[in-house]
Structure 1
Amino acid sequence: MEKNSCVFCRIIAGEIPSARLYNDNDVIAILDVNPISRGHSLVIPKHHFEYLEDVNAETFGKVAEVARRLSSHMVETGFCEGNNLFLSNHESADQTVFHIHMHVIPRWTNDGINIASWWKEISHGLEAAEMKELVSRLSIRK
C-alpha cells in the first residue's frame, strides 16, 4: 500500500483530523473513530509498516510502551476498570488497515463487550504429541 493512500499515514501527516492522545517523533495515539467502547484508542507508529513482521524491535517497543502507558493511565485515573490490548496482523486475522497499530479498549464490569469469548466457546485441546510438534515448529531463538 502506498503511504498516500494509507489512512493512518494521512492522519500522521495532518491531512485527516484526529483526536490525539499522545504524539512524539515515532508514535501517535488517537481515539478510534469506530470505537468498541468509550475511549477506544489506537497506538500507531509514524513510520508505515504493513505487518507486524515488518516492524523493528525498537519501534514495536515504543508502540507497546505507549499502549502500556495509555492503558495504565485509563485505569489509574478511574476512567475504566481494565482494558484489552490487541493487534490484528494480516487480513486472515481481521486486519483492515494495513498500517500496524495496537488497540487499547477500555473495559468495565458487565459492559456487554465479549472480546474474549473465543477461548470460552471454542475448544482447542491439545494432545501431547501435537503440543510437542507445535513447540518444535513455533519455538523462536533468544
Structure 2
Amino acid sequence: MAEAYDPGNIFAKILRGEIPSQRVYEDDAVVAFMDVMPQGVGHTLVMPRAPSRNILDADPATFGPLFAVVQKIAVAVKKAFNADGVTLMQFNEPASGQTVFHLHVHVIPRFEGVPLKPHSGQMEKPEVLAENAAKIRAALGS
C-alpha cells in the first residue's frame, strides 16, 4: 500500500511560507521556485499546491495546470540563460530517486557539452539563487 502524503514535508512548508524560497512564478494551482541544490544553472522546481506524494496518487485534474506551468517555466529558463535545451525530470517513490514526497517537476536549462552536476546536497549561495530567479521572472514577463 502506498504511503500517505505527509503535510510536514519540506515542499509543503515552502508552500505555506514556513521556509523561504526564491519563487519565480505562482498562481492558484502551481508554484515554481529555485532548487537550492541545483544540478545546473537555473534549475527550477514546479509543483502543484494540491497535496500529493507524486504522480502515482495525484488527482488527474492537477496535471493540466501543473504541466502548463512546467512548459511556461521551460520556455522562460531557456530564454533567461540562453540555453541550448531544457531537461525535465520527475521522480516517483524512493526507488526512482524521489527524496521529497510532494509532486514536483525539475526544469533544468541545458548547454551543449555541459553535464548535469550531481545532486550533492551542497546548497547554492542565496545571492546566486536570487539573481537566477530574477532572470527567470524577467523572461516570464517578456
TM range (shorter): 0.7 to 0.9
Segment of structure 1 superposing worse, 32-41 or 56-65: 56-65
Inter-partner Cα distance in structure 2 for 1:77 and 1:17: 23
**Does residue 108 of structure 2 align to residue 66 of structure 1?**
no
Separation in 1 of the partners of 2:48 and 2:86?
Answer: 20
SS at match of 1:69: helix
Provide the rounded CA distance (Å) in 1 between the counterparts of 2:81 and 2:98. Answer: 30
Deviates more, 1:75-84 or 1:48-57: 75-84
Q: 1:22 aligns with which of 14, 21, 25?
A: 25
| Residue 54 of structure 1, CA deviation | 1.3
User: Displacement of 1:113 after TM fit?
Assistant: 2.7
For the 8 Å contact 2:40–2:108, the answer to whether it is kept is: yes
What amino acid is the match of 2:6?
Answer: E
Aligned mate of 1:45, from 44, 48, 53 = 48
The one-letter code matched in structure 2 to 1:14 is G
Report how many aligned residue pairs link the two structures.
114
Between 1 and 2, higher relative CO (CA 8 Å, sep ≥ 6) is seen in 2
1:85 alignment partner, SS class:
strand
Q: Please state how far the C-alpha of 1:16 moved relative to its aligned partner.
A: 0.4
Unaligned runs of 5+ in 2: 119-142
Q: Give the TM-score taking structure 1 as reference length.
A: 0.74
Question: Bigger CA drift: 47-56 or 34-43?
Answer: 47-56
User: Equivalents in 2 of 1:86, 1:61: separation in Å?
Assistant: 17
Letter in 1 for 2:110: R
Moved more, 44-53 or 28-37: 44-53
Deviation at 1:53, TM superposition (A): 1.9
Report what 1:2 is aligned to: 6
1:55-107 Cα deviation digits (max 9, x unpaired): 12221121111111111122245531211001001111010001110000110
The sequence identity of aligned pairs, in percent, is 34
Of 76-85 and 30-39, more deviation after overlay is shown by: 76-85
* TM-score, normalised via structure 2 length: 0.74
CA distance in 1, matches of 2:38, 2:117: 14
Q: Which runs of 5+ in 1 are unaligned?
A: 116-142
Q: Which residue of 2 aligns with 1:97?
A: 100
